Amino acid sequence: MSGNDPEKTAPEGTRLNKFIASSGICSRREADRLIESGKVKVNGITADLGTRVTENDSVEVGGRSVTCEDANIYIAFNKPLGITCTTDRRDPSNIMDYINYSERIFPIGRLDKNSSGLILLTNNGDIVNKLLRSENGHEKEYIVTLDRPYDSSFIKSMSAGVPVLGRITLPAEVIPVNAKTFRIILTQGMNRQIRRMCDYLGYKVTKLKRIRFMNIKLGSLETGKWRYLTAKEKQELLNE
């Protein structure tokens, strides 16, 4: 399932198909099919399409229990240029209003307003704090385009580390793509790190796009669209 979701959650709970989809088991459309075929039970009773659930309800899909924890929200979003990764709705370019998700979620980390690509959002504050600890060394992969062609010494310096904000950046994997473009895999998240690294070496970044965070890839997700993480993606994310 992908796309913007303006649906509002009613006071009495969350729509059952949304609850199941956000667990990563399947898409919302597939959840509807499972419900229609009688394979979903709520509190031991076969559910219908209009059923809503709360954290106190017991949900089973094909005999498998889906808990409230399973249904924590984890979203991968392909952020367009010009959108700010802030929950402050006073900022007209804030990411919350752009996505317009029906429940309170917040971004995991930041992606510059002038950068695009993969950003994760969730309602699980514990996982946010865990993932943002720099000592965990989570990989983040970017495609970067510069204002002019680079040389081999640039790649060597970017790989080894350069001074940024009073310290040397950690070693990074840097893979040339073409004369002005390269991929870089970082394991730290200093403020505007890639742009500052390139600035130090005398280059300006003209385009920066994040394509991977840990095991989660941007893939073919269209700019401005989002999707729920799959069960496999979520499992690896939570096991870190």
For strand 116-122 and strand 205-213, is the pairing parallel, antiparallel, or unpaired?
parallel
Sheet arrangement for strand 40-42: 45-46, 40-42, 59-61, 64-66
Residue 112 among the catalytic residues: yes
Query: For residues 13 and 130, what is the distance between their CA atoms, to the nearest angstrom?
Result: 28
Question: 57, 91, 112, 199: which is the annotated catalytic residue?
Answer: 112
3-state helix, strand, coil in the chain (%, to 5): 25, 30, 45
Angle of helix 125-132 relative to helix 231-239, nearest 10 degrees, comes to 60
Q: 110 is written with which tokens?
A: 């930041």
SS3 assignment, position 128 = helix
The half-sphere exposure of 240 on its side-chain side, counting CA atoms within 13 A, is 24
Question: Do 111 and 79 touch, CB atoms closer than 8 A?
Answer: yes
Question: Do 158 and 172 touch, CB atoms closer than 8 A?
Answer: yes
| CA-derived radius of gyration, the chain | 21
Active-site residue set: 112
